[in-house]
Amino acid sequence: MPDTQALVNDFLNKLKKLKIEGSQATARQNAELLRSVISQQRVPYTNQAGALIDAVKAVGEQLIAANPVELAVGNIVRRVLHIIREEDLSLTTAAIGGLNLSAVSDDENDDDRDGDSTLSAAAVAAAARSTLRPPSLQTLLEDTPVSAAVPQTSSSGGDSEGKSKSADKSSRSRKLKHDVIEAVNEQIADIVICHEQIAEQAVEHIHQNEVILTLGSSRTVLEFLFAAKEKKRSFRVFVAEGAPRYQGHLLAKELVARGLQTTLITDSAVFAMISRVNMLCPLYPHNPEVLLNELRSPSELLDFGEFSDCMDFGSGSGSPLLHVVNPAFDYVPPKLVSLFITDAGGHNPSYMYRLIADYYSADDLVVQRRATAGN
């Protein structure tokens, strides 16, 4: 089995050198890497989820720092952390149910036993609040004396139960890792088919005779538009060419090959065409903490040989005479975005906070390892 650190270093190198094309490929490879990290991580008897979370965060911090512009990296890290927390809570809930914590006397009737569910629900809520805080509820459950659950009949029986308890701890450790890995596998499968899930919604959002403007090349946009055509929608697509890389040329060629009415325009023509457009489908950044735009090489815009005199540090101030800025993406202010179409459906911007809460944990919005004693 490959060394985990070697896998991490290889992926870091790809992120820094922009060797991975597209968010889907980045997300899939990221999830596969974190699955390997979890698989090879040794977990203690107590606070097993904490050990897995620390391991994922240690790697996640490096990945996010390697390419902060690629949002898929941080989102997959946060999603995996949320999965660990969910699976840990699920096992804790099952443990609570098995311990039968309610103190119901033998002479109480069955109606009184209905109160068990209330107690369990309260215990589960407490478990959620105390997850990963030492001592965790799962730790307390594991350290509960055997006599609290089953009366001991002899010293030899106690020894046997002690061995059983140790075996149970080991079993829980394996169970948590197994469940987390299975959930990550499901996440990887969802990433692979996310284009199809998004494309299935096309007919709900694209109507007859609409005019759609898009920028650059995107497989998601391509499949979305083609799905609408397959449902007999008639519409026209304007594609901005996306100079200087001209990724729009690739999208326009694909759209025409699939029989869609397509018009390729220069980037400067967007202003003239925008009045005819019903939808805008851009790539845009939405995290104000970092410059979420990829600044590409100036060589895509000009010949260094031809402009060498302008690039000289000849002003005496130690700065070049000519500055070249080559952002890869257009920027659309969030207030101009009216709908987010995801693999989980189309949502208004006002609903996105709820969607984020379902997919990520608040504790993981900032991916950072917990400070250890002495630091």
Best CA proximity match to 329, nearest among 300, 295, 299: 295
- b/e map of 182-205 (b: 16 or more CB within 10 Å)? ebbeebbeebeebbeebbebbeee
pLDDT at residue 8 tops 80: yes
Q: Which ranges of 100-231 would DSSP assign to H, the alpha helix?
A: 115-130, 137-142, 155-192, 194-199, 202-205, 219-230
The crossing angle, in degrees rounded to 10, of helices 115-130 and 71-99 is 140
Q: Which residue has the higher pLDDT, 310 or 217?
A: 217
155 CB-near residues (< 8 Å, 6+ apart): none
Residue 140: both structure tokens together = 């307390």
Which pLDDT band holds residue 2 (cuts at 50, 70, 90)? low
230 CB-near residues (< 8 Å, 6+ apart): none
DSSP annotation of 262: E
- Measure Cα distances from 93 to 128, 172, 254 in Å: 10, 13, 50
- pLDDT, tens digit (0-9, with 9 covering 90-100), for 166-180: 555 566 667 899 999
CA–CA dist 53, 361 (Å, integer)? 12
pLDDT confidence of residue 162: 58
Q: Which residue has the higher pLDDT, 153 or 359?
A: 359
280 CB-near residues (< 8 Å, 6+ apart): 213, 214, 332, 336
At residue 295, what are phi and psi to the nearest 5 degrees? -90, 110
pLDDT confidence of residue 132: 42
CB 12 within 8 A of CB 66: yes
- pLDDT, tens digit (0-9, with 9 covering 90-100), for 137-193: 344 344 444 333 344 444 455 555 555 555 555 666 678 999 999 999 999 999 999
Most confident of 155-164, 198-207, 279-288, 307-316: 198-207
